[in-house]
Amino acid sequence: MPHAAQLAIITGASTGIGYELARECAEAGFDLLIVADEHAIETAAEGLRQFGTKVEAVEADLSSVEGVEKLLANLGGRPVAALLANAGRGLGRAFIDQDWDDVRRVIDTNVLGTTYLLHAVVPGMKERGSGRVLITGSIAGFIPGTFQAVYNASKAYLDSFSFALRHELKDSGVTVTCLMPGATETDFFERADMMDTKVGTTKKDDAAKVAKDGFQAMMKGEGDVVSGWHNKLQTAIASVTPAGWLAEAHRKMAEPGTAG
Ligand SMILES: NC(=O)c1ccc[n+]([C@@H]2O[C@H](COP(=O)([O-])OP(=O)(O)OC[C@H]3O[C@@H](n4cnc5c(N)ncnc54)[C@H](OP(=O)(O)O)[C@@H]3O)[C@@H](O)[C@H]2O)c1
């Protein structure tokens, strides 16, 4: 249980897994600085205040350097006990049919914004000799994402980055945990324009359970967490399967027109 004054930053906390991560942090007694790029973050903040800790909401577009700097300005140099870098977006359909601005937004949010935020916050944690970092990667990072190519590649980056950063910070008092959800019931697939695909329409994991598993792993300082036995099995199989087979299997889940 953290001291009441300890601060957790949760990005992408307006909905889905991020909201549930923020709820876990609030229930554990952290003060919260929550971020998303739409006004719904204020509604999320109202909901989270019921747990009795301080909740500040920042509306910032974390796909841009300016957006991350807006968050940092709101932080104002305060020590961060936990950083949950969760904001992210998906994008379905064939790469060559995707709009370039949408492609760029996925890369800028998932890769650039997340990396810049970590680069700004983690040094302070290391200096103080304590801190918890959770990065929301994905089991998608292990699978070439046919009809979701850019998104899966962005998550491969985050999964890899998370393990490397963890090992750079070994024995520093700062731990890095990679949360790797499987398909989870949130607004994600609707926003990614994937509601005509098999993965967009089949039953998915519960966001609250995924977040609980992620939060507990972060607090224990574990390296990675895959929520759910079926996802653990999928990850184990992916690690010994040729990339070409995985890419073809992904087509069956993500190709437009595969909805059941
Ligand atoms: N759902 C899944 O199946 C699944 C599986 C594996 C990993 N994940 C990962 O889990 C994380 C959360 O996704 P979710 O499933 O909970 O989806 P979600 O409900 O769509 O939540 C995404 C969150 O990220 C925020 N966000 C997106 N782009 C942003 C930007 N440029 N600046 C600031 N905030 C931004 C959204 O806020 P706004 O609404 O304000 O944009 C929202 O709060 C993502 O990193 C996603 O890649 C999801």
Q: Atom of ligand 1 at shortest distance to CA of 179?
A: 7
What are the percentages of helix, strand and coil residues in the chain, rounded to 5? 50, 15, 35
Nearest CA to ligand 1 atom 36: 12
23 lines ligand 1 (CB under 6 A): no
Catalytic positions = 151
11: nearest Cα among 88, 126, 65? 88
Q: Which residues of 150-162 are buried (b: 16+ CB within 10 A; e: fewer)?
A: bbbbbbbbbbebb
The number of the ligand 1 atom at minimal distance from the alpha carbon of 191 is 20
The per-residue pLDDT for 5 is: 63
Task: Using most ligand atoms within 8 A of CB, pick from 89, 101, 114, 187 the residue to mutate for ligand 1.
Answer: 89
200 touches ligand 1 (CB under 6 Å): no
Alpha carbon dihedral 32, 90, 202, 231, in 10-degree steps, equals: -70
Model's pTM, two decimal places?
Answer: 0.97
pLDDT for 260 equals 75
Between the CA of 67 and the centroid of ligand 1 the distance, in Å, is 16
Q: Please tell me the predicted confidence (pLDDT) of residue 85.
A: 98
Atom of ligand 1 nearest to the CA of 17: 16
Give phi and psi for 77, each to the nearest 5.
80, 5
d(CA 171, ligand 1 centre) in Å: 31
Per-residue pLDDT of the chain (260 residues; tens, 9 = 90+): 444 469 999 999 999 999 999 999 999 999 999 999 999 999 999 999 999 999 999 999 999 999 999 999 999 999 999 999 999 999 999 999 999 999 999 999 999 999 999 999 999 999 999 999 999 999 999 999 999 999 999 999 999 999 999 999 999 999 999 999 999 999 999 999 999 999 999 999 999 999 999 999 999 999 999 999 999 999 999 999 999 999 999 999 999 999 97
Is the Cβ atom of 22 under 6 angstroms away from ligand 1? Answer: no
